[in-house]
Amino acid sequence: MFQPGRDDDIRMFFTANFPAGFMDASISGPSIVPDAAGENYGESGDGYKGGGIGSAARDEMNDRLRALAAAIKASGVIIYTTQFANSGGLLQALMREVATGPDSPYYHYAPDGEALRAVFREVANNLSELRLSK
């Protein structure tokens, strides 16, 4: 079960070891900053990506992502999403739904590397403001 503030929670997403206190909510508040450069895709028989091929698997994976995001947000974690390069409307709707809010500072679209750098600066500034306001 996801529990904000525990260092090992984020390790389910990454294989790297993080320094002690990396997820200390008292320092900056819990937050997640995923980005999407493409839509979900799965193949039949892939237990991690869902069943079916193409859109059937995509729908299942999108539903799982929505459920995960809802549980994370319900636990008080802020989710910032960045849609990179792919301007697809379905992906945009999903990323807006996954984010804590459907617009800036929680959802961003970055069509290129320059815009992506600007988004990261904005998210970093927002996280800094959250830390200072506590």
CATH code where residue 120 lies: 3.40.50
Place of tokens 């403001």: 129
Q: How many domains is the chain partitioned into structurally?
A: 1
Question: Is residue 12's pLDDT more than 50?
Answer: no
Establish if 13 belongs to a structural domain.
no
Tokens of 51: 């069943």
Average pLDDT, the chain: 73
Question: Which burial class, exposed, middle or buried, applies to 114 when counting CB atoms under 10 A from its CB (0-12, 13-18, 19+)?
Answer: exposed
Rounded to whole angstroms, how far apart are CA atoms 90 and 130?
30
Tokens of 37: 């450069």
Question: Is residue 119's pLDDT more than 60?
Answer: yes
Establish if 6 belongs to a structural domain.
no
Establish if 55 belongs to a structural domain.
yes
Question: Is residue 28's pLDDT more than 70?
Answer: no
Rounded to whole angstroms, how far apart are CA atoms 82 and 100?
12
15 Cβ neighbours under 8 A, 6+ residues apart:
none
In three-state secondary structure terms, 70 is helix
Question: Is residue 21's pLDDT more than 90?
Answer: no
Structural domain that includes position 76: 29-133
Establish if 117 belongs to a structural domain.
yes
pLDDT in tens, 33-85: 665 555 665 554 555 555 556 677 778 888 888 999 999 999 999 999 999 88
Rounded to whole angstroms, how far apart are CA atoms 55 and 39?
10
